[in-house]
Amino acid sequence: MLGSLVAPLLGRHLSFFMITISTLWAQALLVPLLIVAPNLLMLGAILALIFFLLPIFDVLQRSRRMALIPDALQGRINSVYRLIVFSSNPVSVALTGLLLQNAGTKLTILLMTGGLMFIALSATLNPHIRRAGA
């Protein structure tokens, strides 16, 4: 919730590219800290930071999409976006459960970190995101 409130303020002062890569890299670097968290308080603090960053990226990319896409296409584009994003949720939760059960916590977190780093690197190197204005 707090990330959603901070997102418009950040959007006024930083470029879309800067916010995108900052939030993605921060998440990728925070997740492996879950392995070494010494207690529940630290684990909660790390998760709070991760969950603070998620809505910042979400609000800004949705706002950008709404600003760039003509009104007549908003419904169609939003439907396709939601189909892709939300249909991946049950698959990722099932795979995470299988990994936790069969490979353990450490390997699961490391694999998640690898995926997040791949996404962050892809966004960083993407010329379309690099050229995106504020």
Q: What is the mean pLDDT of each run of 10 residues along the chain (134 residues)?
A: 86 88 96 96 97 91 88 91 90 95 96 96 92 67
> What interhelical angle do 16-30 and 2-13 show, nearest 10?
140
- Look up residue 23 and give its amino acid: T
pLDDT for the residue 133: 62
Domain assignments of the chain as residue spans, ordered by start: 2-131
Q: What is the pTM of this model?
A: 0.84
On the CB side of 131, how many CA atoms lie within 13 Å of its CA? 3
pLDDT for the residue 134: 46
Q: How far is CA 111 from CA 23, 36, 117, in A?
A: 19, 15, 10
